[in-house]
Structure 1
């Protein structure tokens, strides 16, 4: 008959299944992790942000409890110190409210030491402290890094143009804010007879928004930095972005090279309809265009007759018959009224108008 000698823990004397310390004494030998018993959990009183060390972190959370729990969990993890002897540590943090401004944060760390599993738990008291984050402080103080000026070359911009530019700027800043740019805010907007001025927190966003406007409308953009101070030996600048919408607008009739064109769209290229042929045409934005008229100045005249690729109209001033080439867009026929513009280059039919052929 074979007998097996029993094994005992050399520290507490309890029977063990293997040589050495029992599980309880083994766990007591090591400090698996350390964490303060109480911690301040700092959240912004105005926006969904929390503070870790000296850094404010923005979130998209929309209620106080979720924000406080997230801030508590992050605060504990930042303060937690796990022993280097623990292999493959797994940290679990579960915050729980015990009062309006107090949480108990349950912390558990599991892993292994010398191949033996360990698991230790502790509770931390989290005390909510409301502060004002750096960005909210700057916004409240009227902070800005850049100014966007909306103007038009040789004219006043229309209300529709200004409203569209403001919407473009707003969209750029909203996207940047969601992407994590904490300076992506608009400090102030000043509507002016000649356009609008916007004071904004982010130079990068101001540049992007200004270029987006130019991409849509065409025109020009001038950046003018101004030194306003120094931080850590480096100059601090404020930049003015002068956005100048083009003198030509959609609906203008211009001379483009040797064509008379109704402008329909501006941007990186100016595009429209050749009023002689009725075909679409375009030119780079830097091509000099001569404004002849605007479609708002059009007059309705009657088509007298048509023959082949030509139509005969009544001149709106002399009432004499004038024969011109039929543009490709024209669907109207004799007896129909069509909008026309009279210029020194002749009489031109504009797209639209006329009841069309049956």
Structure 2
């Protein structure tokens, strides 16, 4: 009959009984000395140079232990549960239960561990007028400010606007976070095709953290061009369709879609857009000139050439270009649209 050579028990599971086997070959053979850093405000944990957020501190400790514990050779740990932990100034006392398999035997073991702990210095409370970053917004639209507020609520809930200063062609927004200021500027660049320029300056020193304090200033210029506007690009009229990191437009002379670097939109002037109609379709298509009321030929071909078909046109170098009718409903008429003079003329003729 087999018996345990260590304690004499007859309930042998391998060479030893279950109790002696756990004592001589436990699932956990050691722990590393990696220090765990805790942020008292956000409850984030950092080890091996990486900050991580967990729903509870208990789950964070369990993840830390799985990453830093040394298990026995051929051990297959299944679950690790933190049953109790107590926070001290420089360490954590932790009780855990770990279950797993070793040499085809199931183990259920309890351990008491001490984890070296460091705490991040607490950040002083930021008053309502405190700011770090300045977002210098130029050529904004009503949608731009709402976009920034939505971005703050969604991605930067702890950041507040300290002050908004009205400027000649925009406004300055003072934000309580340099990081949020830069990320918002990047979002404006990607969404609206804005150009950004950054600068920093030293304004103080944090003795508690032993670091210099800097303020970030970001100049954000949003192109004055909007979707639906017509500009001149490479000496051709182009209808702007989307404005973003890369701007896309419709070349009216070549009647094809093109891409335009957003940086080239800063100094672009828009062409007035007129409403008129077709007055002749043979041998060529003619429309009524919006100011002289004389028939002029179209430099490009409209989708429909029926008489009296209403068209939106632009005039460039004494030539008329029609805007594609498929894009007309997509773009809200801006201030570049003029009073439909052809319609006024028809009204006068009726009277």
Please name the residue that 1:93 is paired with.
80
Please name the residue that 2:109 is paired with.
121
Please name the residue that 2:240 is paired with.
263
Q: CA deviation at 1:124?
A: 6.6
Please name the residue that 1:226 is paired with.
201
Q: CA deviation at 1:245?
A: 0.6
Instruction: Decide whether the 8 Å contact of 1:27 with 1:118 is kept in 2.
Output: no
Instruction: Decide whether the 8 Å contact of 1:292 with 1:343 is kept in 2.
Output: no
C-alpha offsets along residues 272-310 of structure 1, whole Å, 9 cap, x if unaligned?
Answer: 334455444454344475414344xx3x33321122343
The answer to whether structure 1 residue 163 and structure 2 residue 143 are counterparts is no
Distance, in Å, in 1 between the alignment partners of 2:226 and 2:99 is 66
Question: Relative to 1, partners in 2 of residues 1:93 and 1:308: Cα closer, same or farther, differing over 3 Å?
Answer: same
Q: CA deviation at 1:224?
A: 1.0
C-alpha offsets along residues 93-117 of structure 1, whole Å, 9 cap, x if unaligned?
Answer: 33569xxxxxx965247787xx9x8
Query: Which range is displaced more, 277-286 or 24-33?
Result: 24-33
Distance, in Å, in 2 between the alignment partners of 1:21 and 1:280 is 79
Please name the residue that 1:107 is paired with.
97
Please name the residue that 1:246 is paired with.
223
More strand by share: 1
Q: How many residues align?
A: 297
Please name the residue that 1:335 is paired with.
308
Q: CA deviation at 1:187?
A: 0.7
Please name the residue that 1:316 is paired with.
290
Q: CA deviation at 1:188?
A: 1.5
- Give unmatched runs, 5+ long, in structure 1: 1-5, 36-41, 62-66, 98-103, 126-132, 175-183, 354-358
The secondary structure found in structure 1 opposite 2:269 is strand
Question: Relative to 1, partners in 2 of residues 1:324 and 1:282: Cα closer, same or farther, differing over 3 Å?
Answer: farther
Distance, in Å, in 2 between the alignment partners of 1:281 and 1:50 is 47
Instruction: Decide whether the 8 Å contact of 1:146 with 1:201 is kept in 2.
Output: yes
Distance, in Å, in 2 between the alignment partners of 1:302 and 1:137 is 67
Distance, in Å, in 2 between the alignment partners of 1:90 and 1:316 is 83
The secondary structure found in structure 1 opposite 2:290 is coil
Q: CA deviation at 1:351?
A: 3.4
The answer to whether structure 1 residue 187 and structure 2 residue 159 are counterparts is yes
The secondary structure found in structure 1 opposite 2:238 is strand
The secondary structure found in structure 1 opposite 2:237 is strand
Query: Which range is displaced more, 285-294 or 221-230?
Result: 285-294
Please name the residue that 2:340 is paired with.
none
Please name the residue that 2:89 is paired with.
none
Please name the residue that 2:347 is paired with.
none
The answer to whether structure 1 residue 197 and structure 2 residue 173 are counterparts is yes
Instruction: Decide whether the 8 Å contact of 1:73 with 1:95 is kept in 2.
Output: yes
Q: CA deviation at 1:198?
A: 5.9
Question: Relative to 1, partners in 2 of residues 1:9 and 1:89: Cα closer, same or farther, differing over 3 Å?
Answer: closer
Question: Relative to 1, partners in 2 of residues 1:213 and 1:139: Cα closer, same or farther, differing over 3 Å?
Answer: farther
The secondary structure found in structure 2 opposite 1:307 is coil
Distance, in Å, in 1 between the alignment partners of 2:309 and 2:11 is 107
Distance, in Å, in 2 between the alignment partners of 1:280 and 1:33 is 65
- Give unmatched runs, 5+ long, in structure 2: 31-36, 85-93, 114-118, 329-351
Instruction: Decide whether the 8 Å contact of 1:206 with 1:241 is kept in 2.
Output: yes
Distance, in Å, in 2 between the alignment partners of 1:227 and 1:278 is 52
The secondary structure found in structure 1 opposite 2:224 is coil
C-alpha offsets along residues 132-186 of structure 1, whole Å, 9 cap, x if unaligned?
Answer: x97996686677654433322xxxx22124434555x559x74xxxxxxxxx655
